[in-house]
Amino acid sequence: MSELPHWIKRRFPASGGENMEILLRSLGLHTVCESARCPNIGECFGKGTATFLILGEVCTRNCGFCAVKKGRPLPPDPEEPIRVAQAAKALALKHVVVTSVTRDDLPDGGAGHFVQVIRALRMTLPSATIEILTPDFQGREEFLEIFREDLPDVFNHNVETVPRLYPTVRPKAQYERSLFVLERFKALFPSVLTKSGLMVGLGETPEEVLEVLSDLRHAGCDIVTIGQYLRPSMKHLPVRAYVPPSWFSFYEEKAYELGFWGVASGPFVRSSYLAERFMEVK
Ligand code: SF4
């Protein structure tokens, strides 16, 4: 794809937050900010926020857009929950976002480990709100039930793209299964905000994006994020289009018309980018 458009160019490169990196390394923690090469890392680390990546940095799946390592993950680290809580406390986070790679190799898909992290955060930082951005847990409701013990404030699971593109973008995922996970979590735990997100610029049509927004609303989703796909490396899927900011405004307008409580739509929007803002207006 040719020259980057001006609305993308402005923000590269982004660095900053050296203190954040020192803290993360000292506690042996990973962030999806680093693993996924997020363009907002300088801004977020500079502000002292980050999205913790638990359950290791090796994923059992192979999404075509994602820079996270693929392969055979190590066993979960039982000390990780308390270290995440220590880091969140050291950063005095008001809103803590925790995500993970997909662990299809674990008997509960990693749900139990997420609950341990939520519990450690509730004990260490009782005033903070907690958002978890999870895999699809293979659509197994019994794994969602595990969260009944310690619920997050926001349950986030991304559909990532439109169903037609799943075979190339998310080959080991299923669109209907991701909708099911969001719909079931909302039905099981109505007090928890549910959230999802998608990237544009992978070849989808505007009509397909609007259909996804409508499907998410039918699944009871409260918050949606829409951002521009950016290619992490030449090994990853090509960018099919740089979507102009006016289209992000159009999607935002349509999303609010569909009844979403919260919408973040823009070229640099990512699942947990400025996630704390939704908590401020809750
Ligand atoms: S499941 Fe998540 S972490 Fe794994 S490859 Fe896909 S997007 Fe990346």
Considering only CA atoms, which residue is closest to atom 6 of ligand 1? 63
Residue 15: its pLDDT value, please? 53
CATH number of the domain to which 65 belongs: 3.20.20.70
pLDDT beyond 80 at 280: no
End-to-end CA distance of the chain: 40
Question: 68-72, 108-112, 197-201: which range is least confident on average?
Answer: 68-72
47: in domain: yes
Among the listed residues 155, 262, 253, 271, the one whose alpha carbon sits nearest the alpha carbon of residue 209: 253
Q: Which atom of ligand 1 is nearest to the CA of 66?
A: 8
Question: In this predicted model, what pLDDT tens digit does every residue of 224-272 receive, in sequence order?
Answer: 999 999 999 999 999 999 999 999 999 999 999 999 999 999 999 999 8
Q: Which residues line ligand 1 (CB under 6 A)?
A: 59, 61-63, 66, 68, 101-102, 135
In total, how many domains does the chain have?
1
Record the pTM: 0.94
7: in domain: no
Helices marked H in the chain: 6-9, 18-26, 32-35, 41-47, 80-90, 111-124, 141-145, 166-169, 175-188, 206-218, 245-258, 276-280
Considering only CA atoms, which residue is closest to atom 3 of ligand 1? 101
Q: pLDDT tier at 35 (50, 70, 90 boundaries)? A: confident
Residue 11: its pLDDT value, please? 52
Q: Say how many Å lie between the CA of residue 127 and the centre of ligand 1.
A: 30
Residue 282: its pLDDT value, please? 63
DSSP 150: S
Domain assignment of residue 68, given as a range: 15-280
Task: Tell me what percent of the residues of the chain surpass a pLDDT of 70.
Answer: 96
Considering only CA atoms, which residue is closest to atom 8 of ligand 1? 66
Residue 95 sits at φ, ψ, to 5 deg, of: -130, 120
Q: Pairing relation of β-strands 129-133 and 95-100?
A: parallel
Q: Say how many Å lie between the CA of residue 147 and the centre of ligand 1.
A: 21
The backbone region for 151, taken as left when phi is positive above 0, alpha when psi lies in -120 to 50, beta otherwise, is beta
List CB contacts of 246: < 8 A, sequence separation 6 or more: none
Q: Give me the chain's average pLDDT, please.
A: 92
Q: Say how many Å lie between the CA of residue 68 and the centre of ligand 1.
A: 7
10: in domain: no
Q: Return the best residue to mutate from 34, 53, 57, 61 for the ligand 1 pocket (most ligand atoms within 8 A of CB).
A: 61
Q: Which atom of ligand 1 is nearest to the CA of 65?
A: 7
Q: Say how many Å lie between the CA of residue 257 and the centre of ligand 1.
A: 30
Question: 13-17, 37-41, 43-47, 203-207: which range is least confident on average?
Answer: 13-17
Question: In this predicted model, what pLDDT tens digit does every residue of 159-195 receive, in sequence order?
Answer: 999 999 999 999 999 999 999 999 999 999 999 999 9
Among the listed residues 141, 158, 143, the one whose alpha carbon sits nearest the alpha carbon of residue 97: 158
4: in domain: no
